[in-house]
Chains A and B, each alone.
Chain A
Amino acid sequence: MSQPDFSHDGIRTLRGTTFRYLFLLCALLSIATTVAIILTLLVDAVDFFGTVSIVDFLTGTNWAPSHEPVSFGVLPLISGTLTVTIGAAAVALPIGLLTAIYLSEYASERRRAYLKPALEVLAGVPTVVYGYFALVYVTPFLDRFLPIGTFNALSASIMVGIMIIPMVSSISEDAMSAVPDSLRQAGYGLGATKFTVSTTIVVPAALSGIFSSFILALSRAIGETMIVAMAAGQTPQMADLTNPAGMFLDSVQTMTAAMVEIGTGDMVSQGVQYQSLFAVGLTLFVITFAMNLISEFVASRYREVYH
């Protein structure tokens, strides 16, 4: 009796094991992707640093990959990236945080039910569309009040800021919703208003989640490509610390925009220029990867507090 049953079970076990390993392979593909990203970036970046010294790359203040004399100093690109990121942060962090407070503390269930999906639409709009909006609607509008150029960091910052609002608001709101109701009740029991409870109890209690949403949103702003490539222009320049506002009115070039410029050019012919793409890509990857890890780490800490 056991003989035919055994072989039947054998096939079943074999099939089960096969699928188990197939699925494991799918999961391991994500690790392979990370490894592939790092290797692809490293291989060409290492070649690049064979020609251009890594010190010159990291400390050089002139980025001119395509016209003689070529120069590969990444600082102007980092400066442009920081300008846009700071501008986007000024738009998205306060608005996103207030939105999260409204959704978590003030809004009725019904209102939340349509405000949340409406906000998520912001993150779903293709970035090339935001870039177009910044270029043809926001810049001409700002031009009525400010001495800005056709390409400027300001309209790009505003658009990147609007795009990342949902990242700040949804993660912050999750963190605020995780604050136990007993803390709020204690505040109301002392006669506090909703404003006091929100700002002195809920926000401080959810601070690590809010902080993590800020870092993640800024990481997105740093990596955002099409908006800055279309609206901020292609003028690599160092920030003038004596005139910080001027940086926003002028055209700047971010790391990502520089990559698009090289990518749309005739890059195959020029070896160093092609490799510089990977050096900038590696710089961008290292910065955003570190920020994503920090955000993940900070977020995982608040989850433990209230469980």
Chain B
Amino acid sequence: MAAESTGAHSDATFGRISRRKDVAFRLLALGATLVGIVSLALLLANVAVDAVGWLDWGFLTSPPHPFPDQAGFLPAIVGSIAIMLLIALITFPLGVGAAVYLEEYASDGPLTTFIQLNIANLAGVPSVVYGLLGLGLFVGLLDIGYGSVIAAAFTVGLLILPIVIISAQEAIRAVPDSQRQASYGMGATKWQTIRNVVLPRAMPGIMTGTILALGRAIGETAPLIMIAAPTTVFGVPTGLLSKASAMPLQIYNWASYPQQAFQYGVVAAGVVTLLVILLTINSIAIVIRNRFEQST
């Protein structure tokens, strides 16, 4: 009797302790989940406060200047957008083409496995190494100019190509097979099926993935440094071969200035501008996705 009650008592204690442990662990895990999000939010709040008074119309429409209150971001903004548009032109057809091949044509052979593994690996190659590829291949071998818009676009384009391919593959895979069968049943060829059935259905997903990848491209800095893109230019790029700076390069350059007004004012304004443009790009991707999800 006595032994039994002790047993029941210790069972209850054991239960209480393990329940407490469970609650403690749950809170710990929730805390860990919030660490990254909260620290980023704090840093963003800091940079937003610092940008106040510096981020104005003059900043967005002027060239860089050695005096902080006259420094502007315009050539970097135009350079980034020019490079990004060119990257879109390069990666979209190549990425979709590769994805169509892998999803619609390729059989499950060793070549397909090899290509797939290779794409996964390319997605993990450090961006600075792509910079060396750009330096050796586009600037060195093909001689298309140090830091030119086109060399930058090719280099960063190759960098984001694996991401574009992987997301396009996912979009194509999500098209139900019954729709392909229906098309074949009507006597359509493979290419007609792809053009008229698969690609239109997959396009919102492909667009979303490509736009998100372009968002990543706009933040890339190291590859541009490697191909010797100038960190500061005073005029907007006028052609494919003209040297262009980009927003992250200008930020990198300004951050090394010793003056407080640059470190906490001008750079903060640049960071906020870059993040707002990035957010706009990502929102466009999300809007496209939501709109097409509703209509189908």
Contact = CB atoms under 8 A, between A and B. Distances in A.
B225 A26 contact: no
A19 B33 CA distance: 47
B226 A16 contact: no
Chain A, interface SS category: helix
B267 A132 contact: yes
B117 interface: yes
Interface of B: 18-19, 21-22, 25-26, 28-33, 35-37, 39-40, 43, 46-47, 93-98, 100-102, 104-106, 114-115, 117-122, 124-133, 135-137, 158, 161-162, 165, 189-192, 194, 215-216, 218-222, 225-226, 228, 231, 248, 251-252, 255, 263-264, 267, 271, 274-275, 278, 282
A18 B47 CA distance: 53
Given A24-B105, A121-B40, A126-B248, A106 B191 contact: no
Nearest to B270: A132
Contact of A260 (B97, B105, B222, B275): B222
Interface in A211-234: 216, 219-220, 222-226, 229-230
A223 B130 CA distance: 11
Contact of A23 (B36, B97, B263): B97
B249 to A, nearest CB: 8
A25 B102 CA distance: 11
A37 B29 contact: no
B196 to A, nearest CB: 13
Given A36-B137, A40-B133, A223-B128, A128 B252 contact: yes
Nearest to A94: B32
A30 B191 contact: no
Contacts of A40: 132-133, 135-137
Contacts of A229: 222
B102 A129 contact: no
A41 B133 CA distance: 7
Contacts of B105: 20, 23-24
Nearest to A91: B35
Contacts of B225: 260, 263-264
Interface in A158-175: 162, 165-166, 169
Chain B interface mostly helix, strand, loop or mixed? Answer: helix
A235 to B, nearest CB: 15
B251 A194 contact: no
A49 interface: no
A127 B218 CA distance: 11
A188 interface: no
Contact of A122 (B28, B37, B162, B248): B37
A40 to B, nearest CB: 3
Contacts of B222: 127, 225-226, 229, 256, 259-260
B107 to A, nearest CB: 12
A171 B43 CA distance: 26
Nearest to B21: A195
A222 B94 CA distance: 29
B191 A27 contact: no
Interface string A230-273: 10000000000000000000000000100110011000000000
B97 A30 contact: no
